[in-house]
Amino acid sequence: MDNKTKKVPQNTITRDVKNIAAVTGNIYESVVILSKRANQIALAEKKELNKKLEDFKNERETMDETFENREQIEISKYYERQPKPALVAISEFENGDIVYRTADEDL
């Protein structure tokens, strides 16, 4: 998933609950789909961030020896500026980019 190419708002906006519920016919199903997708996005971002920050990990690092690395700070700031996973999930849901199925559907 590439958030850079999508238009996702950086802050929360008011949404009509009826529009979110219209996709599945049930607001609760829509919320579950959104929360599961937001968790997937958050996990992917966390893995990506940890992978990038692993390069800066020092084996002998203790509380007294910690120091700030400019590159590490820039990487962290970049991820802080990214849209929140819930906002990305809602945007994908509204655009029809999320594929989901219910348990009672036949495979």
The full set of domain ranges for the chain reads: 17-95
48-91: pLDDT as tens digits: 988 888 877 765 555 544 566 778 888 888 988 899 999 999 99
Counting Cβ atoms within 10 Å, is residue 52 exposed (0-12), middle (13-18) or buried (19+)?
middle
5-63: pLDDT as tens digits: 467 877 778 889 999 999 899 999 999 999 999 999 999 999 998 888 887 776 555 55
Its pTM stands at 0.76
